[in-house]
Amino acid sequence: MLSVDNISLYYGAAQALRGVSIEVKPQSVTCVLGRNGVGKSSMLRAIVGHQPVASGAISFEGDALDRKPAYDRARAGIAYVPQGREIFPLMSVKENLATGYAAVKPRDRNVPPEVFELFPVLKSMLGRRGGDLSGGQQQQLAIGRALVARPKLLVLDEPTEGIQPSIIKDIGRAIRYLRDHSGLAILLVEQYLDFCRELADHVYVMDRGEIVHSGDAASLDRPEVRRFLTV
């Protein structure tokens, strides 16, 4: 469904990605792990069109994305929840959800019922300001806003970062539900190993701008893989 083929990415003279290739299959959860600063977020930004690549190719459902701006990628069915969530603190929960309509045809501009089924707290807080929500609730809002666009691929950058364990469980449950019942492909970047071990159909490990491991979730327990994850 998503194919990233041998991409390289630079910030000025500094190379952040060195020939990275990954595949994401439909109706699956793919996790990318690695220490701080190894290039995980850069790879996601390249996929969603926020950062240009210097070489290599990215395709989605067989179409080349390389020259497409971020909004075309969103319309093609790729939704992105950035690290830090980037919700609008002074806008209400309802207004935050509505910002997801930008990539959607006017007749589809409503909140899919599954958003409130997965995250009931959003329904009860529709009138509250985004900035009044806890970190975990903001993460749920950011995922809800991404789902408003009815994506085929959901891209999440560290969805568990700074979030209390009970909400991490809710988010894990939601990801599993979206894969199994809505047929979504989910690509997520994480530092939280247990979260990936429980959820992932496939894992990649990055180190210094390269993919150094590809395998199933159980492969994360191998010592030769672990050494790229321990600080």
Note the residues at the interface with ligand ATP (CB under 6 A).
11, 14, 16, 34, 36-42, 83
Q: Which residues contact 125 (CB under 8 A, 6 or more apart)?
A: 93, 132, 133, 137
Positive or negative CA dihedral for 5, 190, 115, 178? positive
Q: Based on CB atoms, which residue is closest to ligand ATP, 18 or 128?
A: 18
Q: Based on CB atoms, which residue is closest to ligand ATP, 16 or 156?
A: 16
- How many CA atoms are closer than 13 Å to the CA of 134, on its beta-carbon side? 12
CB of 76 to ligand ATP, least distance (A): 23
Q: Based on CB atoms, which residue is closest to ligand ATP, 149 or 154?
A: 154
CB of 200 to ligand ATP, least distance (A): 17
Q: Based on CB atoms, which residue is closest to ligand ATP, 16 or 74?
A: 16
Q: Which residue has the tokens 């469904």?
A: 1
Cα–Cα distance, 189 to 159 (Å, whole number): 8
CB of 14 to ligand ATP, least distance (A): 6
Cα–Cα distance, 207 to 105 (Å, whole number): 40
CB of 51 to ligand ATP, least distance (A): 8
